[in-house]
Structures are given as structure tokens and as C-alpha cells.
Structure 1
Amino acid sequence: MKSEKEKMLAGELYDPLDPQLSNERQRARLLLKRINETRDDEPEERNRLLKELIPAMGPEAWIEPPFYCDYGSNIVLGDKFFCNFNCVILDVAPVTIGSGVLLGPAVQIYAATHPLKASVRRSGLELGKSIEIGDDVWIGGGAIVCPGVRIGARSVIGAGSVVTKDIPEGVVAVGNPCRVLREVEE
């Protein structure tokens, strides 16, 4: 029989009030509080705490506080990743972000979702869908990446966009819902 955590990571309905999941979220919240309270003259301490929160964080990855997530342990960050102020990553399913990725301020990445049927939502069960963001992607400030989305390498997502479907490699995409405008010229 699968644990609630195994169900969660597999994208199946799970109970978010499960004691193990509740404890892991509390651990993340306590670490986030410490991270978000670090001063700019404490970069080593901030980086140490970030690596405790997100063990799969590449070298030279950087997150500007305040930052928020559910667990941290379900996030993979590539090398030279940069996250600006006020970003949120709801990582109830795996969130994999490549190297050289730039997130503008207030970008929100939501792997968390809820059942469409009200009767199932009333049960309190939730689910997640994994998100993948390729290398060298730039996501403009205030953009939202919805559950289950893949963004191809070298693409640019315009500020304020709502990404509801996969975006191919090497394109500029904007809007709500986010649509491809053109290819990126190297």
C-alpha cells in the first residue's frame, strides 16, 4: 500500500493532512522563515539554509528572499538558476528547473491542483502534476506556471502570462492563456 507521500509524488489523490506530509511542510516553513529573515550580508548562511531546504540545488543557484514553497525536497534546480523576490513554488509534485533559468519577481509555479469534481474536492483529497522547465528559460515577473506544464529550453515567457499548456523550445510566449508569438532568434 502506498504512503500518502508516494501518492502525492505520483500525481494521485492524496491526503494533505497526513502526519508525515504535515511534518515535512512544517519543516519547510520553519526553514523558509529563517531563509527569508537572512540579511544581504549573510550570503553563506542563506545559501546553507537553501541547500538544506532544496538538496537538489545546483551550484551557483540563487534565490532572493522572500521565497515560499511547500516542501523544497521536490524541487530540482540547475546551475546558475536565479529566482527574484517573492516567488512561490508549490512542489507537491516534482518541479524540475534547468540550468541558466531566470525567474522574475513574483513568479508562481504551481504543481499543486485539486480535483475538478466538487464531490471529490469535499473529501479533502488533493493532487499534483509535475512541472518541467528547460535550460536557459526566462520567465517574466508575475507569470504563473500551472500544474503539469513543460516549458522548452531557451524559451521566454512574458511578464504576467498564465502558462496553462506546454510551451516548445526556443520561443517567445505571452498572455493569458500564454500563447507562442514567435521563435527566439539567437
Structure 2
Amino acid sequence: MTDHDEVLDRIHRGLLYTESEASFQNPQRRADLIFEYNSTRPGDDTARRALLERILGSVGARTVLLSPFHAGFGSNVHIGDDFFGNVNLTFVDDVEIRIGDGVMIAPGVTLTTTGHPIHPALREDFRRFSEPIVIEDRVWIGSNVVVLPGVRIGYGSVIGAGSVVSRDIPPMSVAVGVPCRVVRPITDDDLTTRVPAAVGTAGPDDQPGLRSAGPRTA
């Protein structure tokens, strides 16, 4: 096993590694292309799509990602079909972020695969750990949400604005808070109204919040 293989093994196992040890991955960063994407005209769909295909690890059909967005690498992000990402979406993608089909993300969201040790002696040379994030199909994430390393958000779930998601969220759930917790399931009763009883305004430009289970978060 080479030194690089040993570092990659530690990264993929969620163990600590340093900036210097991981520097061999820097050619995978897409900073210049991300800058170029954020500088394109909003109506230049052809150029934006071409850049997005070069930046991301994979990208599905009918993807909308508004400028600006930010990514540590870009190449570790995989997005499915019919994705909508609003402004100031940040991917801290030292390892993979996988996003399914039909996902909506409101403004100011951060998806971070990486954290740091608590003790300062262990943070020399930006020592850190990384764990992948998975967002399953048809999830809706509200404004200013932070999703932390290793989290999986299940199919169809709604994350209220301002939440910090530090643990897995099961499918078809409304979850909100710091730390984010499930407040109720999504059921067929939610088919009868445009705005469910425990969810705020609807649409990719807005964000979910609470009405019946504590203060609104939207």
C-alpha cells in the first residue's frame, strides 16, 4: 500500500488525517470552474450546464443550481434529476455528497462532510475527519440548514429552516431544530392541503417551518 493509499483508507474509514497528508487530492478541486460558473449570466443555460458537468462528479437532467454556490472540490458531489438548489449552497465535499432525484434546497444551506477534533492539540495541520452525506429522493431542505458529516436524510423528508442535522432522518418525516429532531411523520393527510399543518410556505424559493409544534422556523 502506498502512502496515498494509506491516507485514502483513513479518509474513507472516517479516521483523522491532515491537510498535508491529503494535499495529493488537490488536482480534483474545481475552484476555477466554480468561479467561472458563478460569473456566468443566469440565462446562459448552455454554458452553465457544460460547466456544471465539468465541476460535479455527476449531474442529472433538468438540474437548477443558482449562483453563487461553493464547493471544496465539486468533483465529490453527485446530483440526481430534477434538482433545485437555491443561492449560497455550500458543499464541503472532502468525501462524497450524494443527492437523489427531485430534491429541493432553499437558500444558505451547508452540506459538510468534514469535522475537526475537539482538542486543539489534535487540530494541528488542519487535522480532520470526513464522512459522506446522502440525501435521498424528493427531500426538501429549508433555508440556512446545516447537514453534518455522515448524515442520511430519508426519502421525502422535510427539514425545517435553521436546523442543524447531526443524525440520520428517517423517510417521510418532518424534522426541525438544533439539533434536528423528527416532529411528525408525513402522511396521506398532507395530500388534502397545499400547506400541511406542520409545514410552512411551499416551493423551492421558500423554506419549510413549523406551525403546530413550536415556533415557526421559516
**Common fold: TM-score over 0.5:** yes
Report the AA paired with residue 11 of structure 1: G
Secondary structure in 2 aligned to 1:45? helix
For 1:150, the equivalent position in structure 2 comes to 152
TM-score (norm. length: structure 2): 0.79
Q: Does 1:66 align with 2:65?
A: no
- Give the letter aligned to residue 170 of structure 2: P
What is the SS of the residue equivalent to 1:100?
coil
Inter-partner Cα distance in structure 1 for 2:62 and 2:34: 19
Q: Which residue of structure 2 aligns with residue 35 of structure 1?
A: 37
Structure 1 segments, 4+ long, off by >6 Å, are: none
Cα deviation, residue 118, structure 1? 2.4
Q: Which letter maps to 1:23?
A: P
Distance 2:109 2:50 in 1: 23
Instruction: Spell out the pairing of 1:99-178 with structure 2 (5 A cutoff).
Output: 99-178=101-180
- Overall identity of the aligned pairs, in %: 37
CA change 1:174–1:24 in 2 (3 A) is: same
- How has the CA–CA distance of structure 1 residues 159 and 123 changed in structure 2, closer, same or farther, with 3 Å as cutoff? same
Provide the residue aligned with 2:185 in structure 1: 183
1:92 corresponds to which of 91, 94, 104: 94
RMSD over aligned CA atoms reads: 1.6
On the 8 A contact 1:140/1:160 being kept in 2, the answer is yes
Q: 2:15 corresponds to which residue?
A: 12
- Map of 1:21 onto structure 2: 25
Change beyond 3 A, Cα 1:39–1:167: same
Aligned amino acid, residue 181 of structure 1: V
**Cα distance change of structure 1 residues 44 and 9 upon mapping to structure 2, 3 Å threshold:** farther
In 1, Cα distance between equivalents of 2:12 and 2:32: 22
How many angstroms apart in 2 are the aligned matches of 1:123 and 1:66?
29
Letter in 2 for 1:8: I
**Secondary structure, counterpart of 1:65 in structure 2:** coil
Q: Is the Cα–Cα contact under 8 Å of residues 11 and 93 in structure 1 kept in the other structure?
A: no
CA distance in 2, matches of 1:145, 1:124: 20
Unaligned runs of 5+ in 1: none
State the SS of the aligned residue for 1:173: strand
Mean Cα displacement is larger for which, 10-19 or 151-160? Answer: 10-19
Partner-residue secondary structure (3-state), 2:123: helix
Contact persistence 1:31–1:53 (CA under 8 A): yes
2:163/2:176 contact within 8 Å kept: yes
* Cα distance in 2 between the residues matched to 1:56 and 1:132: 14
Give the Cα–Cα distance (whole angstroms) in 1 for the partners of residues 9 and 54 of structure 2: 21
What amino acid does structure 1 have at the position aligned with 2:187? Answer: E
- What TM-score, normalized by structure 1, do the two folds share? 0.92
What is the alpha-carbon distance in structure 2 between the residues aligned to residue 97 and residue 166 of structure 1?
14
Higher alpha-carbon deviation: 145-154 or 12-21: 12-21
- 8 Å contact kept, 2:53–2:59: yes
> Shift of the alpha carbon at 1:100?
0.4
